[in-house]
Amino acid sequence: MELKERILACATVCGVSSKEQSVAHKLMEELSAMGISSYFDASGNLHSEILGNPQGKTILLEAHMDQIGLMVSGIDENGFLKFVGVGGIDERMLCGLEVLVDGRYSGVIVPAKKEEKVPKIEDLRMDVGLSFEEAKAQIPIGTTVTMRACPKLLLGDKISGPAMDNRAGIAAVLDCVERIKDKKIPYGIKLLFSVGEELGLQGGYSGTEPKMADGAIVIDVTHGATPDAKDEVGVFPLGCGAVICRGPNLHYSYTKQLIALAKEKQIPYEIEVAAGHSGTTAWAIQTVGTGIPTMLVSIPLRYMHSNLETLALKDVQAVSDLLYEALMGGIALAE
């Protein structure tokens, strides 16, 4: 499958944190088509394994499946739905947004009272067209809600839509796996597509255990440059390539090797700095139990945690290319 089509296909599947099953089953089908078996753990994380050199080290590739969303928290007397955020929601993007409630009911988010400033989430409502009695009968409290938008192609080989965080990361992993699965590789490869990252890295903790791999590469997104983010540290222009993170949470030597590998193979890249917690599952994987030495590679993403998340195809390709070169022996894991 072409990388562009793979990103679009992954992003169209709804998978709000705690409801990632549809995404997981789609990934299981795609892996099966490549001849790779997979299984679920008790938390809903999806695991796979590619056998390489049986005497070699093992590298874990991880990307989270879930996306941010909303959840119905109440119904007012006029049938409008109250709601809360699932994951970090950008409240500026909510008013006027089309949504899909429980995967069945179309709705729109509207302000509950007149405000001159950006309304808080508690001052917004969802209008699905039902009366109080109808809404109470058809929409239970706790129903999940997704932002209704179709991924679309923009000019300049850009892609925009919901759930690019982190379906683009998943697409990069699958693209790499498809290229490497039939090659002679020096490592065993484990795949982890985790749940609940937006709720606190849950799948990163529950899906890993000490000594399950000799090293790990986490694939996620980072902030892409926007008109309101000029000159900010930790913001990267779309098209800059793979963003390799450095910091005390990440393995020093392996990260330096990854940077050197990008230079050697002429893969475009930038360096991000995380002085502490990276805000990604790299934190969970490196610190769970006795820990797994971890690297972090990200895709620049504009308008993160909105229905308009925008990326450059070449950055996803750069991440896939860097993973490929690493798995073909470009990273030397310690004995």
The 10 Å Cβ neighbour count of residue 136 is 13
Contacts of 145 (CB under 8 A, 6+ apart): 16, 69, 70, 71, 72, 83, 99, 100, 101, 102, 107, 126
Phi and psi of 330, rounded to 5°? -75, -15
Tokens describing residue 112: 């509950």
Please report, for the domain that includes residue 178, its CATH number: 3.40.630.10
Of 101, 120, 147, which residue sits at a domain end? 147
- Give the other-Cβ count within 10 Å of 140's Cβ: 9
Q: Name the residue with tokens 């995404």.
A: 23
pLDDT of residue 20 exceeding 90:
yes
Question: What is d(CA 272, CA 176) in angstroms, rounded to the nearest whole number?
Answer: 22
Residues 143-177 have pLDDT tens digits of 999 988 788 999 999 999 999 999 999 999 999 99
Is residue 228 pLDDT above 80, yes or no?
no
Domain around 184: 3-67+162-330
Report the CATH number at residue 130: 2.40.30.40
Of 147, 172, 196, the residue at which a domain comes to its end is 147
Do residues 45 and 170 share a domain? yes
Which of 147, 173, 207 is a domain's end point? 147
Domain count, the chain: 2
The answer on pLDDT for 117 being more than 70 is yes
Look at the alpha carbons of 308, 23, 242, 174 in this order and tell me if their dihedral is positive or negative: negative
Residue 241 and residue 98 share a domain: no
One-letter amino acid for residue 333 of the chain: L
* CA gap 226, 224 in Å, rounded: 6
pLDDT computed for residue 266 by the predictor: 98
Instruction: Please classify residue 27 by burial: count the beta carbons closer than 10 Å to its beta carbon, then call 0-12 exposed, 13-18 middle and 19+ buried.
Output: buried
Per-residue model confidence (pLDDT) at position 130: 96
